[in-house]
Amino acid sequence: MMVTHRVGDVSAVHSDPWPREIESLALTYGVEARRLYGDMGWDDVRMRLAAGWPRLCARHGTEWEAIAPLVRNGWISARESA
């Protein structure tokens, strides 16, 4: 499966550019979450994703609050491309 991401409209929470690995991981997490949770709303799954993020990204030490906008962008772009 090829996943493309649109990141231009992510609000800046993190002023420095994310390392490409983290950015890709966050966007893919959002896309895959959309596949798993389908028609649920972002607010309905946000806490589940927040709980799973530390396990997924523990070695990078990236906090959920900082990366959540990128994950949400993946979530939104998956819906738009469906």
Tens of pLDDT, residues 4-49: 444 444 443 445 678 898 999 999 999 999 999 988 999 999 999 9
Instruction: Note whether 53 and 35 are within 8 A (CB).
Output: no
Give the closest residue to 27 by CA, choosing from 76, 62, 81: 76
Q: Is the pLDDT of residue 81 over 90?
A: no
Q: Nearest to residue 19, comparing CAs of 70, 53, 75, 55? A: 70
pTM given for the model:
0.76
> Vertex 18, ends 16 and 20: CA angle to 5°?
145
pLDDT given for residue 58 in this prediction: 75
Structural domain includes residue 74 = yes
Structurally, how many domains does the chain consist of?
1
Residue 12 falls inside a structural domain: no
Asked whether residue 15 is assigned to any structural domain, the reply reads no
- Cα separation, 32 vs 38, whole angstroms: 10
> Is 7 among the domain residues?
no
Q: Which domain holds residue 63?
A: 20-81
